[in-house]
């Protein structure tokens, strides 16, 4: 089983023009991401557009990616929704097809109590033997998982961390301070990676690392080396890219950026301002790096 690393890329899911999952492209993309700074991949999360896929498609995607990368990187499978029993079923099946861990998202729409969250996540975690990572993203789910709830769940043996996207600095710091050994905090927002890792967080589940993985890895590396001045400079240098990828709903901008990189992931969701958006994202990358990294299938096959 692959180790769950610090730079986990929230991998874009390639689709065909007909809206089908493009599994060959997914395999190529997974290999490319690991070659450019990613330690592991979150498959079927927010950026991967899990709601756009059936359970069968998600499971096949988990298997295809794991078969492509083997133990060179961790596959963290986004398996959960607001139905506990269905979450258990998909999580078990994800483990069976080779996933190294599961990502357990706070349920959307239902708005359970904090006690309900504890029961929901414990039921899922106890149904599998692979590690589980909690995912707190109140901007998507309309419910914040409190620090107290997170720390209570941190005592569950195979719940090994949380992807924190609440943007509540006090809450995140409280979790970092109170977490037991072996429980890690990943930033759920690229523009908060520097602050979270600087205060003891472990890493990031990154959207930006779909296109600038080595730079994201370098930012975290500078913090871990104690070179805060260099890390801060790198954060400020990359901040326009982080913000450009989120100036409208993720994953629309990053899908444009991936296509412009020479790696076709299929059309983004339709939007009238596409040309303006495309220009903004690509300009942010070019202003810092000169060009978007090339991940064309031809280059991948030659590597």
**Known binder of ligand: residue 205?**
yes
- 47 marked as part of a ligand binding site: yes
Residue 149's closest CA among 188, 178, 125? 178
Annotated catalytic sites, by residue?
135, 163
Question: Which residues does the annotation place in the binding site?
Answer: 47, 205
Binding residues for pyruvate: 47, 205
């Amino acid at each position: 089983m692959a180790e769950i690393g610090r730079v986990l890329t929230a991998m874009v899911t390639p689709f065909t023009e007909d809206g089908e999952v493009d599994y060959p492209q997914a395999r190529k993309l997974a290999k490319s991401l690991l070659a450019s700074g990613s330690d592991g991949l979150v498959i079927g999360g927010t950026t991967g557009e899990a709601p756009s896929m059936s359970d069968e498609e998600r499971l096949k995607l988990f298997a295809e990616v794991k078969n492509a990368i083997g133990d060179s990187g961790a596959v963290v499978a986004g398996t959960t929704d607001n139905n506990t029993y269905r979450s258990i079923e998909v999580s078990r099946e994800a483990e069976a097809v080779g996933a190294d861990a599961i990502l357990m998202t706070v349920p959307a729409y239902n708005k359970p109590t904090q006690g309900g969250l504890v029961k929901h996540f414990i039921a899922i975690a106890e149904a599998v033997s692979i590690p589980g990572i909690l995912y707190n993203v109140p901007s998507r789910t309309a419910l914040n998982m409190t620090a107290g709830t997170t720390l209570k769940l941190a005592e569950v043996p195979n719940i090994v961390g949380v992807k924190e996207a609440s943007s509540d600095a006090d809450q995140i710091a409280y979790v970092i301070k109170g977490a037991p050994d072996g429980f890690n905090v990943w930033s759920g927002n690229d523009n908060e990676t520097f602050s979270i890792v600087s205060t003891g967080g472990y890493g990031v589940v990154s959207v930006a690392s779909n296109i600038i993985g080595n730079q994201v890895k370098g930012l975290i590396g500078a913090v871990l080396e104690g070179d805060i001045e260099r890390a801060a400079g790198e954060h400020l240098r990359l901040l326009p890219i982080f913000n450009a990828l989120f100036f409208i709903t993720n994953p629309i901008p990053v899908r444009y950026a991936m296509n412009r990189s020479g790696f076709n992931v299929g059309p983004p969701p339709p939007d009238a301002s596409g040309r303006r958006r495309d220009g903004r994202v690509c300009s942010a990358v070019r202003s810092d790096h000169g060009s978007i990294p090339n991940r064309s299938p031809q280059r991948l096959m030659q590597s």
